[in-house]
Structure 1
Amino acid sequence: MTVNDDSFTNWMHREEIAESMIPIIGKLHREQDVNVLLHSRSLVNKSVVSILKTHRFARQIAGEELSVTETMPFLKALTTLDLGPSQIDIGMLAATYRADGRGLSVEEFTAQAVAGATGDNKIERRASRDVVLYGFGRIGRLIARLLIEKAGSGNGLRLRAIVVRKGSGQDIVKRASLLRRDSIHGQFQGTITVDEANSKIIANGNEIRVIYSDDPTTVDYTAYGIKDAILIDNTGRWRDREGLSQHLQPGIGKVVLTAPGKGDVPNIVHGVNHDTVKPDERILSCASCTTNAIVPPLKAMADEYGVLRGNVETVHSYTNDQNLLDNYHGSDRRGRSAALNMVITETGAASAVAKALPELKAPITGSSIRVPVPDVSIAILSLRLERETTREEVLDYLRNVSLASPLKRQIDFISAPDAVSSDFIGSRHASIVDAGATKVDGDNAILYLWYDNEFGYSCQVIRVVQHVSGVEYPTYPAPAV
């Protein structure tokens, strides 16, 4: 047998193992509300090739490829346990087991590592929480996709309605079509049908009512069977407490804004300050995509090295508030063609750091340039540190943060030498550290942080909504603090 034959035989063997993983992962998700992860990446509803690629990606951050032959025993061990709702990272189980010197079997080690999710310790399944989307643009449709994707177990969050302004003929059909096909993020994973007579879109069995309104004060959501819902405002039309309070109509319990909040509206970056949300807070903001991209790595660097001052320059994809071709616009420069120009504009991300990370006293400045790409941006974070360090030390630290810290769902890490913006379309992390571009000179560090300003940000919004709704389940093994 040749070397090529050996490689192909090995590939087919790993394909067979990955294929056998799929029903186990699906059953754990549907029957026990367990989300199986691999280094923070969900394996639920993934194909054989996707599972293998996710394992192979581990080499980018852990330095060596992770094989399904290593993780499969841990997945099998989970099926023998009385698990409650949780997120379990089999990549971390395999990595920590490899470093464990107690001589435990895989079954014994797994039982100990996830003990908080078993037996008397397990969390009981909670009733699903209603969600309403106010607005159905770029972020609204991506949030809808995520909500539908996460509804598989029948618990957690349930998208009940979208609220939009009435369009012209075949309004619901056109909105369903935009949900079904996306030029950047591809096809919707599932089936979508339209019930025009009852103003509904049915996506993977989820009945979503389409409510027409241009005034949030006129909608009684209880008339549609909606109660104590979390309303996600994707319009950005109102940003202060007074304006957003208009959404607090019958059937709505909380309002979450997908834009920076003004005044006393809390700006929440999941992973950094989500645990500061007061239980009785009814209005909050998820800040901006750029704030979500820079605050987690900024916190990580401040925790380890201290930060005296910083500057962030964002090179941002164009957005719907710019003109496709030159035309009048209320803001400076944004009237010039977004598809043909680099456009200097302002960003509030630097000033928003103080709201999300008040313990950081260092001044942070910022500026932004919009560029002719439709999605994925990069933030260049220049920091003056409190102590000198080296590039190798910073990269090792950030790699470990992305693997095993409480910020591992926010910060990703890549060492590929030829990575470009389109590689990060669909990333679920708030930001991705580009190891190859990182620069460190004594007490000066420059981090290049990629982020999918649409999908990655939408994932952060969902995490906040899960947290405030009480359906954010714990992750095992618990990340290092």
Structure 2
Amino acid sequence: MTVNDDSFTNWMHREEIAESMIPIIGKLHREQDVNVLLHSRSLVNKSVVSILKTHRFARQIAGEELSVTETMPFLRALTTLDLGPSQIDIGMLAATYRADGRGLSVEEFTAEAVAGATGENKIERRASRDVVLYGFGRIGRLIARLLIEKAGSGNGLRLRAIVVRKGKGQDIVKRASLLRRDSIHGQFQGTITVDEANGKIIANGNEIQVIYSDDPTTVDYTAYGIDDAILIDNTGRWRDREGLSKHLRPGVSKVVLTAPGKSDVPNIVHGVNHDTIKPDDQILSCASCTTNAIVPPLKAMADEYGVLRGHVETVHSYTNDQNLLDNYHRSDRRGRSAALNMVITETGAASAVAKALPDLKAPITGSSIRVPVPDVSIAILSLRLERETTREEVLDYLRNVSLASPLKRQIDFISAPDAVSSDFIGSRHASIVDAGATKVDGDNAILYLWYDNEFGYSCQVIRVVQHVSGVEYPTFPAPAV
């Protein structure tokens, strides 16, 4: 047998293991509300090849590839436990078991590591919480995809309706088509049908009522059987408390804005300050995509090194706020063709840092350049630190933060020397540290942070909504503090 034959045999063996993982992962998700992760990446509804690629990607974080032969025993061990709703990272189980010197079996170690999700410690499965999307644009449709994806267990969040202004022609058919196919993010994973007679889009069995309105004060959501819903406003039309309060109608109890909030509206970056949300808070903002990209790594650097001052320059993909061809625009420069120009513009991300990190007294400035790509941006975060350090120390620290800290769902890490922007389309992290581009000189550090300003941000919004609704289940093994 040749070396090539050996490699192919090994590949087929790993394929077989990954294939046997799928029904186990699906059953844990459907029957026990357990989301199986691999280094913060969900394995639910993933294909054989996706599972293998996710294992291989672990080398970017941990420095070596993780094999399904290592993680499968932990997955099998989970099936023997009386688990409650939770997120369990089998990548972290394998890594911590490898470092554990007590001689425990995989079954004994797994039972101990996830004890907080078993027996008397189990969280009760909660009833679904209704969600309404006000607006159905780029962010709205991605949030819809995520809500539908996460509805598999029948618990958690349930997308009940979208509210839009009625367009001409086959409005509902066209909106369903935009949900079904996306030029950047690809095909919807599942089936979508339209019930025009009843004004509904049915996606993977989820019946989504289409409500036509241009005025939030005219809608009575209880008329559609919607109760105690969280409404996600992704129009950006209202950004202060007075305007967003218009959404607090019968059937809606909380409003979450997918844009920076003005005045006293709290700007929430999940992973950083979501624990400041009070049970009686009715109106919240998820800040901007760029704020979500820079605040988690900024917090990580401030916690370890201290930050005296900083500047963020965002090289941002163009958005629907710009013109495709030169035309009138109320803002300077944004009227020039987005597809043909780099456009200097403003960003509120730097000023929004103060809301998300009030304890950080360092002044942070910022500016932005819109460039001719449709998705994925990069933030260049230049920091003056309180102490000197080295590039190696910073990279080791940020790699560990991405692997085993409370910010591991927000911060990703990549060391691939040939990575470019399109490689990060579909990333579920708020930002990805590019190790190869990182620069450190004494007390000066420059971080290059990729982020999918559409999908990664939408994932952050979902995390905030899950937290608000009480269906943000704990992760095991617990990340290091």
TM-score normalised per structure 2: 1.00
1:318 Cα deviation after fit: 0.2
Instruction: Measure the CA separation in 2 of the matches of 1:258 and 1:375.
Output: 17
Instruction: Measure the CA separation in 2 of the matches of 1:86 and 1:291.
Output: 28
Once the two structures are superposed, residues 50-88 of structure 1 have per-residue CA deviations (whole angstroms, 9 ceiling, x without a partner) of 000000000011000000000000000000000000000
Cα RMSD after superposing both structures = 0.2
1:136 Cα deviation after fit: 0.1
SS at match of 1:36: strand
**Counterpart position of 1:260:** 260
Once the two structures are superposed, residues 174-206 of structure 1 have per-residue CA deviations (whole angstroms, 9 ceiling, x without a partner) of 000000000000000000000000000000000
Once the two structures are superposed, residues 129-171 of structure 1 have per-residue CA deviations (whole angstroms, 9 ceiling, x without a partner) of 0000000000000000000000000000000000000100100
Say if 2:307 is the partner of 1:310: no
Instruction: Measure the CA separation in 2 of the matches of 1:225 and 1:471.
Output: 21
**Counterpart position of 1:436:** 436
Once the two structures are superposed, residues 387-423 of structure 1 have per-residue CA deviations (whole angstroms, 9 ceiling, x without a partner) of 0000000000000000000000000000000000000
Instruction: Measure the CA separation in 1 of the matches of 2:339 and 2:414.
Output: 28
1:436 Cα deviation after fit: 0.1
1:309 Cα deviation after fit: 0.2
**Counterpart position of 2:2:** 2
1:377 Cα deviation after fit: 0.1
SS at match of 2:197: helix
Instruction: Measure the CA separation in 2 of the matches of 1:441 and 1:169.
Output: 60
Instruction: Measure the CA separation in 1 of the matches of 2:229 and 2:102.
Output: 48
Alignment of 1:384-399 (within 5 A): 384-399=384-399
Instruction: Measure the CA separation in 2 of the matches of 1:40 and 1:457.
Output: 16
SS at match of 2:140: helix
Once the two structures are superposed, residues 211-254 of structure 1 have per-residue CA deviations (whole angstroms, 9 ceiling, x without a partner) of 00000000000000000000000000000000000000000010
Instruction: Measure the CA separation in 2 of the matches of 1:53 and 1:113.
Output: 25
1:294 Cα deviation after fit: 0.1
1:99 Cα deviation after fit: 0.2
SS at match of 2:367: strand
TM-score normalised per structure 1: 1.00
**Counterpart position of 2:103:** 103
1:125 Cα deviation after fit: 0.1
Number of residue pairs the alignment of both structures matches: 481
Instruction: Measure the CA separation in 2 of the matches of 1:400 and 1:253.
Output: 39
1:455 Cα deviation after fit: 0.1
SS at match of 2:308: strand
* Identity among equivalent pairs (%): 96
**Counterpart position of 2:124:** 124
Say if 2:458 is the partner of 1:458: yes
1:19 Cα deviation after fit: 0.2
Instruction: Measure the CA separation in 2 of the matches of 1:45 and 1:466.
Output: 20
Instruction: Measure the CA separation in 1 of the matches of 2:384 and 2:100.
Output: 37
Instruction: Measure the CA separation in 1 of the matches of 2:141 and 2:269.
Output: 21
Say if 2:344 is the partner of 1:344: yes
Once the two structures are superposed, residues 20-54 of structure 1 have per-residue CA deviations (whole angstroms, 9 ceiling, x without a partner) of 00000000000000000000000000000000000
Once the two structures are superposed, residues 423-466 of structure 1 have per-residue CA deviations (whole angstroms, 9 ceiling, x without a partner) of 00000000000000000000000000000000000000000000
User: Structure 2: any 5+ residue segments left out of the alignment?
Assistant: none
**Counterpart position of 2:361:** 361
SS at match of 2:16: helix
SS at match of 1:55: helix
Instruction: Measure the CA separation in 2 of the matches of 1:19 and 1:381.
Output: 41
SS at match of 2:190: coil
Instruction: Measure the CA separation in 1 of the matches of 2:32 and 2:388.
Output: 48
SS at match of 1:184: coil
User: Structure 1: any 5+ residue segments left out of the alignment?
Assistant: none
Say if 2:27 is the partner of 1:30: no
Instruction: Measure the CA separation in 2 of the matches of 1:320 and 1:452.
Output: 16
